[in-house]
Structure 1
Amino acid sequence: MRGHLSPMTRTQYYVAASIDGYIADSAGKLDWLFQFNDTPGLTEHYQAFIDSVGPLAMGAATYEFILGENQPWPYADRPTWVFTHRPLPAIPGANLRFTTEDVSAVHAQMVEAAAGKNLWLIGGGNLVAQFVRQGLLDEILLSVVPVVLGGGIPLLPAALTRPLELTGLTRFDRGMVELRYTLPSRAPAPKG
């Protein structure tokens, strides 16, 4: 068991990235990804994932992106922690908790609220990097999209130099694949 309190709850980074490792283009846009929304099997695959998820965590930029879509809150009544250092408007119908706390303190709250479901770190590689540095990320579910952006927002700006374990591979039409990786346990601290 990594950083969580329950052996049933896993902290997951479910994300899509271009072949060259970007989760958004240099303008923060996702049009390159949305062109794959009608890929056969993708909706059902996403639905199976979201059914396994309880709480979510996202950064302010991801939250503002969702605000900018002018759509109803897409995550039903799932409790969502938004990490921000500035005031943000609430989305009607969303179960939101705006926070400036350290990710380790929030992670414990999320696990408690999960009731055995998994946690989803959504969007924002910078926020996910904070969870990685605290040893709180269990899995990366990476959909590799067959486009090359040449720049943008990186997948994960944190070092993970120990090999990840590939635990699943799902192929979709149109050249998309999902790679499911488990992160290695942290090495014990050196004895002094």
Structure 2
Amino acid sequence: MSRTVYNTATSLDGFIATEDHSLEWLFSADGDDALGEVEDFIRNAGAILCGASTYEWILRHEGDKPWPYGTPTWVLTHRDLPRVEGDVRFAGADTDQELRDLHAEMVETADGRDVWLVGGGGIAADLARLGLLDEVVVSIAPATLGSGAPLLAGRVDLRVLDVHRAGDFACARYEVVRR
């Protein structure tokens, strides 16, 4: 059965990117072990969901290369974004029902594998509110940002499943508690 998992990196003070959507702060720490865990997770994902800012960051860092994931990917956006070679689909989900329908399509496409929510925090909070998010996995970087894009943009109750160290990162896996 597919799980929907928000797997991302965060600063110690709970931001996934700076106010200008930079992730450069993330690469100043020893994260090879954490990166290996993320790569293992990615191999088991059957569908990917991300927001426009995450998609644009990936494009900036990949240059003219094809989409780096060989997994069907949905980008939530209302903007006209550059298209790349690969299975990337653009969608808007303005209502709860549209988000439920999009999620159902991703779960069907994942075919028993995980749905990976890359970012952002608003999408994660909306999925949790609708009872569609199963787990949150965070690699906590040894840095604070003070402001930026929040890890979760809303209340989400969690139960810890695992905590361990990976290089300079503290990695935590949580189950989303259904209210």
Question: Is TM (by shorter chain) over 0.5?
Answer: yes
Paired positions, count: 173
Q: Pick from 3, 6, 18: which aligns with 1:10? A: 3
Q: How much has 1:43 moved relative to structure 2?
A: 3.3
Which residue of structure 1 lines up, in the alignment, with residue 164 of structure 2? 170
- What are the Cα deviations for residues 59-110 of structure 1, in whole angstroms up to 9, with x where unaligned? 111111122221532212x111111112222111x20111113211100000
Q: Secondary structure at the match of 2:119?
A: coil
- What are the Cα deviations for residues 32-67 of structure 1, in whole angstroms up to 9, with x where unaligned? 10223x534233212211122110011111111122
Q: Secondary structure at the match of 2:31?
A: coil
CA distance in structure 1 between the aligned counterparts of 2:8 and 2:35, rounded to whole angstroms: 14
| Cα distance, 1:167–1:71 mapped onto 2, change above 3 Å | farther
Larger radius of gyration: 1
Which residue of structure 2 lines up, in the alignment, with residue 189 of structure 1? none
CA distance in structure 1 between the aligned counterparts of 2:8 and 2:69, rounded to whole angstroms: 15
Which residue of structure 2 lines up, in the alignment, with residue 75 of structure 1? 69
Which residue of structure 1 lines up, in the alignment, with residue 38 of structure 2? 46
CA RMSD of aligned residues (A): 1.5
**Structure 1 length normalisation: TM-score?**
0.84
Q: Pick from 104, 115, 119: which aligns with 1:123? A: 119
Q: Secondary structure at the match of 2:105?
A: helix
State the one-letter code of the partner of 1:97: R
5+ residue gaps, structure 2? none
State the one-letter code of the partner of 2:56: E
State the one-letter code of the partner of 1:81: W
**Structure 2 length normalisation: TM-score?**
0.90
> Structure 1 or 2: larger strand share?
2
Moved over 3 A (4+): none
| Cα distance, 1:97–1:40 mapped onto 2, change above 3 Å | closer
